[in-house]
Amino acid sequence: MGNGPDVFMIVVLVFLALAGGLIWLSYQQRKKAREAARAFAQARGWTFTPDAPQLSQRWRSEPFGRGHSRRSSNAVAGTFHGRHVVSFEYQYTVGSGKNRSTYFYHVVALSLPAALPWLQLTRDGAGAAVAKFFGGQDIRFESKSFNDAWRVRGPEGQYPYDFIHPRMMDRLMAPDALGKSITVEGSDIFVWVSGRQVLEAIDVYANLLYGIYDLIPRHLWLRVGHDPATERR
């Protein structure tokens, strides 16, 4: 009976030691990721921003606008085939206490020369609420294999079909595109993948986005006041 307080103190000390160890490990992991991103940017002559809160508020589409404690970190930005590109890690939290969960995403965005109508391609049907906000609806195509691989949301009318023409469809069915989530919002196109930022994947994702951008028909650009013929690629 007399050992009760001593046992309790030992349990408390062990718990505090474990909690402290987890905090230290998390700090070391964040530090390692930050330094790796900094080195990646320096090697390319790109910029590095450890905390970029403006990126958390730049878009409305998923994964943005969810939860709380939103944070954009380890942003590396530069030029990719003449277009501005930025890669960063985005996180947000839902719930609190024991029901608290934090989600991480690797986001890569490529700038567009002009704003285009909102369009979203996902594999799991995410984005229903945001689609409603943008006035979007589910779009179906004649290709069953494409419909099985992608859920497309966009405005009513011909625009989604003009955007996803046969060559674009072939590009989206390539292995590096399948399974990703891709959104055109304003003057950006971005891809988002669940998990931490993977520096080795930045070129892959940027190349995917550039490939999509390069296949956007000229007449769609002309509708928004931009002529690709006047732009150097």
> What are the tens digits of pLDDT across the range 35-93?
999 999 999 999 999 999 999 999 999 999 999 999 999 999 999 999 999 999 999 99
d(CA 152, CA 127): 10
Task: Tell me which residue has tokens 């930050």.
Answer: 34
d(CA 139, CA 111): 24
The yes-or-no verdict on residue 107 having pLDDT over 90 is: yes
Torsion sign, CA atoms 37, 71, 110, 195: positive
- Confidence (pLDDT) at 2: 53
In sequence order, which residues have a C-beta less than 8 Å from that of residue 110 and are 6 or more positions away? 80, 83, 84, 85, 188, 189, 190, 206, 209, 210, 213
Q: pLDDT for 143-180, tens place per residue?
A: 999 999 999 999 999 999 999 999 999 999 999 999 99
Domain ranges (residues) in the chain: 1-45, 46-230
Cβ–Cβ under 8 Å, residues 66 and 54: no
What pTM, to 2 d.p., does this model score? 0.84
d(CA 42, CA 45): 5
Averaged pLDDT for residues 133-137: 61
